[in-house]
Each structure stands twice: as structure tokens, then as C-alpha cells.
Structure 1
């Protein structure tokens, strides 16, 4: 009995060490990509000024919403691979990669088709900026399949590399161009070229994990639609505030809000590595032992983010855009709190997708409608809109936590015997 307990303890320790190493690698990969995304936003905020940065910020928000299909493909692909027998996973992976190529074409063409409507909604001078955003979506959508394959196979080193390469590739050209030209359209075009090169390199990293013939993926399109629908609802909600601020506030104030939203994005994405590493475990028999611990980790990281921003708001604002954004100093912690609350909601949504649950989608759309109505009524300042968004985000996170507690209460309890 002692030997059995020792072996069990040793196995558990090995698994935990592997999980920690994987989380660290993915955190680094995501962190590199996020740092470069932040540097792009920082360079754009400084070079474009509040008025033009309001436009650029709305284009970044549009890109985030449009690229949600990337995340849907990643989530559906990873889940399909996790639930596939080991011998067939490489063939399923190739099927995921091929399916994503068609999806990339569809989302690009679709965005171009509706570019006049988007331009009108955001008060842009023309459709060119929106069309270039559509060109960014082609490589980014296909990258979802590469992320899904590496995530589903739990090859965290390759997954981290893809995250880092795509993040750096799409940002570095944009940084160089915005600094040298101060052109919104040329900056977006440089981002598209960089993303295409980065995804080509990422394919070389992922290719050893797939093999022909590609396995036919029954109902995979439905899985992608479900995951994309859920994530689309989340990302509409989490990016809508920037678009609403652009619509209701004067250009300079909209630029202020867009700069504050950079803090929201950092706090939102900072714990993403937890969900990324935990996701395969949330889809199979390891779910019960993973869910609560991972959710607590996300919440803890969020609280640390809020505390940091609250303690040094002047430094944070200086890093965002300098003296032009000093008005945000007393309010910037609110944007960190928004991001932290949304991060909890995002993790809990991924846990629902992993278990093929669908109830959360309705809650997200209700939250989105509520946000639109409240901002429509209360939009006199940056602070007022930010407080409205914070209230909606906190209520959404609380609903998710209640759902988690309900699921935990329904789990069969194991009684230990002496």
C-alpha cells in the first residue's frame, strides 16, 4: 500500500510539474505577443495623437472582433483532437488545418463586403482602412488551426512559439510604419504583411504534428460555429465599449477612452495562458480537478493587475501615451478592473465550450444589449462610460462564478476511508 501511495504521489507531482512548465512556456509565448501588441498601441498613441488614435483604436477593436473566428477554430480544433484516439490525432489535425483555409477566405471576403456599413458606423472618411483590416484577417484566421493543433496535442513549446511568432510578426511591421509614416492605412497594411509571414513560419513549426490523409471531420463545422458564436458574443461585448465611445464621445475623448482600453486589454489577456493550458483538461476526464484551480488563478492575476494599476496610475498612463493622456490618471484603475472581470468571464466561457455547453451564449448577448442601452443613456464622459462597462463586466463575472459553484456542487464526492 505504501509503495502504491508513493507511486501515485510521484505521478501526481510529475504531472503538476509538467503543467507548470507548460503554463510557463505558454505564458512567455503569449506575453511576447502581448508585449508587441502593447508596443504597437503605444507607438500609435504617441505618433497619431488622440484624434487619429481614436480611429486606429476602433480599427484594432474591429480586428479583434473579426478575428474571433480564429479563436473558434482553435477551440473547436483543440477539443476535437483531445477527444480523438491518439493514433488518429495527426490526421484530424490536417483536417482542421484544411478547413481553416476556407474559413479564412470567407471571413476576409465577408468583411470587405460590409466595409461601407462599418465605415459609416465609425464615421470614417472611406472604406480603405476597413478593407486593410479584412486583409489582416486572412492569415490570422488560418493561424487558429495551427494553434488548435498544437494546443490539442498539448505540445506547449510549439504552441508558445506560434503565439510569439504571430504576435511579433503582426506588430513589428506596424510599429516601424506608424513611427515613420504616421499613416493609419499603411500601418494596418504592414500588420497584414507581417502576419502572413509569421503564419507561414508557424506552419513549419506545426507541420510535424499533422499527416495525410486528412481525416473527415464530421460535425466539425457545427463545432466551429458554436465556439465562434460564443466567442463572438464575448468579443463583441469586450470590444464594444471602444466603438461606442468612438460613436458618442468627441474625437479627443474617444481617443482618451481608446488609450484606457489598452489597460483593459492587458488585464484581459494577462491570464490567458491559464485558460490556454487548462482547456484540453477541461474537455476530458481531468475537468473536475482543473476547473476551480484554474479559475482561482485567473481571478488572482486579475486582482494583482488592478492593485498594480491603482498603486502607480501615473506610470501606467505615461507608458500608454504620455502627457497627452494625463486626464486618465485618476480613472485608469477602472479600465484594469474591467479587463480583470472580463478575463474571469472569458475563462469560464472556455470551460463551457470545452464541455460543449451552450447556455452562456444567451447570457453574453443579454449583457451586450444591456451595455448598449446603458451607454446610450449614460455617455457624457470617459469616466461615465467606463463605470457602466465595469458594472456590466462584474455582473457577468459573478454569473459565471455562480455557474461554476453550481457545477462543483453537482460533482460526486469521494469519501476518504481511513
Structure 2
């Protein structure tokens, strides 16, 4: 086969793969490799003390990002359910994305001294940088939701990859020049501009007017976005508050060790994220919810337990991925961190099943678990003690929510699409 023909064939095959659910899975893996590749390299290049500062900042950014995820879920659901109103929904999603982004960024600027004190960053400039990062992070969520709702899988996959790879490349270059938490986080900010620019370029130009509806007004979209965001905020606050607790109850070295173990936990939390993307539409359909939830739970559990076993067998190799010998004190606990990540991945799936049926009450239980985790965590005196308490709280919550979810999906509450009512 001529060389140009082979290149053309490979290009067509690559496009075909990227236009499917498998392509989204690959794109999200690349995104996570880029995102967590930066954290792994930062742990090695910065050491426990400085990396603990970066980890606290990154975990706060994950919590801040629930606004972006709420926008994405809202845009994807509405566009998928009402393709005839895509122009109106897209315009409202983008308008609200920018307004929420600027509002959140300005609020965090005002709260920068509080953030600096609570996270014990000892770097007010880094607190200001967190506020700056919130703006492109939130806007990107709007672009993700529009592309996902329109089922434009290839562009969505490209934007997903652009969310992780640039920050890794920029981060390596900047930390080689100046290895500090501030410089590493600056790379995150610069990298987050890339998906926004790509999203704008992909969606540039005007659309036909299409059909309009009061149910897609700015107020209606904002209400749903707030509903989705608070549920996701409960999950992300719960899954990230432990690093903040560690910085307030353990000394700087032990807090850094705990943050190093969380690199592995977070990798396993988001490794099966593509399962949520694939299962979400089925979980939103009354007749498919039970089967979709069961299959998804088995898929995430199987992948997580396989990875946990691999970590237990190859802990010296895994240690080199989470910071090297400076973190050798937690080598024996790495498999526990991996198991924690699997439990958080399962909890993540269950929370999205709640969003699929537009339920609210389950999120209140997550908020209660957050309070319990913080109260007990502040009494911990070691990495092992804090890790044991976090595992106990997350495991109890997961068991309760899975039981409640199965009870509710067997008696689904049908929500009128026309009114976009929230149950």
C-alpha cells in the first residue's frame, strides 16, 4: 500500500475510534494521564513539604470545579433531550458559564486571605492564582456540556485531551526552571486556557434560530445548574477535604506523605470515569436504571480491585510513581490508598445516578458524611489513623447510598421533561 494511502487509512481509523464511546474513554485516559502525570512529577520534583502545598491547592480547585461539572451536566442533558432548541440552550449555557466564572473568580479573589490561612499555604500569591484558575475551569464546563449534548464525540475527545496534556508539558518545563508549588500551579492555570480556546474555536459561528422555550430560559438553566452543582459539590468536598484535614492535624512532613498517597487514590477515582459517561444516559431512563447501575458498579469494582491488587504486588514500583523514596514511609499503605480510590470511584458513580434521576435527598447524606469525616479526622494523630477514619466514613456512606439507590431505581420517579421539574 502506498505510504500516503496508509496514512489516510490510519487517519480514518483514528477518527472512527474517536467518534465512539471507546474514543471518549481513550481521550479521558489521556486527560487523566496528563493531569495526574503533573502531580506525580511535582511530588518527585518538589518533595513532601512543597508538594503538600500544591496538593491542597489542587484539591481546592477540584472542589471549585463542581460549577463546571454542573454546567456540563445541565447542558448535556438539555441539548440531548431538546435538540430542536440547541441554539437557545447553547446561548444560555455559554452566557451563564461566563457569568458564573467571573463571579466565582472575583469571590475567590476576595477570599484569598482566608484560603491562604485555612490551607496554610503561606503564599498569598498562590491564593490569588487559585481565583484566576477558577475562570477558565468553569467556562470549559459549558463547552464540554454543549459538545456532549450534541454527541460530537471527536471534538469532545480532543477538548478532553487538551485539558490534561498541555498542563503536563507546561508544568514540566516550568518546574525544571523553578521547582515550587506556585510555579506548578501556574502551569495548571496556563494549561486550562487551552480547552477554552479550543471550545470557542469549535463552536464559533452562528446557528439557526431553532425553537425557543421558556423552559430553557436563563433562570431555568441556572436552577438546574445549581441543583447539579450542589450534589457534585457534596461529593468533591467529601473526597478532597481529607488533605485539608491532614494539613491542620498532622505536621508538614506527614501531611505531605498523606498527600502523596492521595495521588494514587485520585488516579483510581477518575480512572473509570468513562464508565459514568457511557452509563449516564441509561441511568436517566426509568426502564434501564437498575441494569445500568448494576453493570456500572461491577465494571468500576472490577477495575478498581484489579488495580489495588497490582499495587499490593508492585508497591516499590508504584512508590516511584507517587514521589519516590522520600515517600517510602507510606509504601505499606499504598494498596489502602488504591482501595480508597476505588471506593471513591464507586461513590462518584452513585452520585451521577442521583443526577440521572434528578434526585436531591441523597446529597444531604453526603453532606452529613463530610461533617463526620472532618470531626473525626481532626482527632487523628498519624497518617495511618487519618486514612483508617476516612476509609470507614467513605465505606459506610457508599454502602448506604448503594442500598438507597437500588430501592429508588426499582420505584422510579418520573419527572416531566417539559417542565424540567426537580424531584
TM-score, normalising length from structure 1? 0.88
Aligned residue in 2 for 1:359: 361
Q: Which stretch has the larger CA shift, 53-62 or 121-130?
A: 121-130
Mapped contact 2:96–2:218 kept (Cα < 8 A): no
Q: Deviations over 1:200-229 (max 9, x none)?
A: 023223448966578634511111111111
Mapped contact 2:97–2:142 kept (Cα < 8 A): yes
User: Following the alignment from structure 1 to structure 2, what is the Cα–Cα distance between the partners of residues 404 and 220?
Assistant: 26
Corresponding residue to 1:316 among 301, 318, 327: 318
Aligned residue in 2 for 1:129: 126
Aligned residue in 2 for 1:232: 233
Q: Structure 1 residue 160 and structure 2 residue 157: aligned?
A: yes
Alignment of 1:77-92 (within 5 A): 77-84=75-82, 86-92=83-89
Mapped contact 1:78–1:280 kept (Cα < 8 A): no
User: Following the alignment from structure 1 to structure 2, what is the Cα–Cα distance between the partners of residues 53 and 383?
Assistant: 19
Q: Structure 1 residue 148 and structure 2 residue 145: aligned?
A: yes
Aligned residue in 2 for 1:12: none
Report how far residue 21 of structure 1 moved.
7.3
Alignment of 1:362-373 (within 5 A): 362-373=364-375
Mapped contact 1:143–1:199 kept (Cα < 8 A): yes
Mapped contact 2:160–2:195 kept (Cα < 8 A): no
Q: 1:179 to 1:218 in 2, by over 3 A?
A: same
Mapped contact 2:76–2:149 kept (Cα < 8 A): yes
Report how far residue 352 of structure 1 moved.
0.8
Question: Which consecutive segments of 4 or more residues in structure 1 shift more than 6 A?
Answer: 18-21
SS in 2 for 1:380: coil
Alignment of 1:258-297 (within 5 A): 258-284=259-285, 287-288=288-289, 289-297=291-299
Aligned residue in 1 for 2:9: none
Aligned residue in 2 for 1:416: none
SS in 2 for 1:35: helix
Mapped contact 1:22–1:277 kept (Cα < 8 A): no
Aligned residue in 2 for 1:331: 333
Report how far residue 407 of structure 1 moved.
3.0
Q: Structure 1 residue 396 and structure 2 residue 397: aligned?
A: yes
Q: Which runs of 5+ in 2 are unaligned?
A: 1-15, 414-423
Aligned residue in 1 for 2:45: 47
Aligned residue in 1 for 2:347: 345
Mapped contact 1:375–1:385 kept (Cα < 8 A): yes
Aligned residue in 2 for 1:32: 30
User: Following the alignment from structure 1 to structure 2, what is the Cα–Cα distance between the partners of residues 19 and 301?
Assistant: 22
SS in 2 for 1:329: helix
Mapped contact 2:92–2:221 kept (Cα < 8 A): no
User: Following the alignment from structure 2 to structure 1, what is the Cα–Cα distance between the partners of residues 147 and 281?
Assistant: 11
Q: CA RMSD in A?
A: 2.3
Alignment of 1:102-141 (within 5 A): 102-141=99-138
User: Following the alignment from structure 1 to structure 2, what is the Cα–Cα distance between the partners of residues 145 and 324?
Assistant: 40
Mapped contact 1:73–1:144 kept (Cα < 8 A): yes
Q: 1:212 to 1:257 in 2, by over 3 A?
A: farther
Report how far residue 287 of structure 1 moved.
4.0
User: Following the alignment from structure 2 to structure 1, what is the Cα–Cα distance between the partners of residues 306 and 207?
Assistant: 39
Q: Which runs of 5+ in 1 are unaligned?
A: 1-17, 413-418
SS in 1 for 2:151: coil
User: Following the alignment from structure 1 to structure 2, what is the Cα–Cα distance between the partners of residues 321 and 210?
Assistant: 49
Mapped contact 1:177–1:183 kept (Cα < 8 A): no
Mapped contact 2:140–2:195 kept (Cα < 8 A): no
Aligned residue in 2 for 1:13: none
Report how far residue 284 of structure 1 moved.
4.0
User: Following the alignment from structure 1 to structure 2, what is the Cα–Cα distance between the partners of residues 326 and 170?
Assistant: 27
User: Following the alignment from structure 1 to structure 2, what is the Cα–Cα distance between the partners of residues 210 and 68?
Assistant: 28
Q: Structure 1 residue 190 and structure 2 residue 200: aligned?
A: no
Report how far residue 306 of structure 1 moved.
1.6
Report how far residue 326 of structure 1 moved.
1.0
User: Following the alignment from structure 1 to structure 2, what is the Cα–Cα distance between the partners of residues 255 and 245?
Assistant: 9
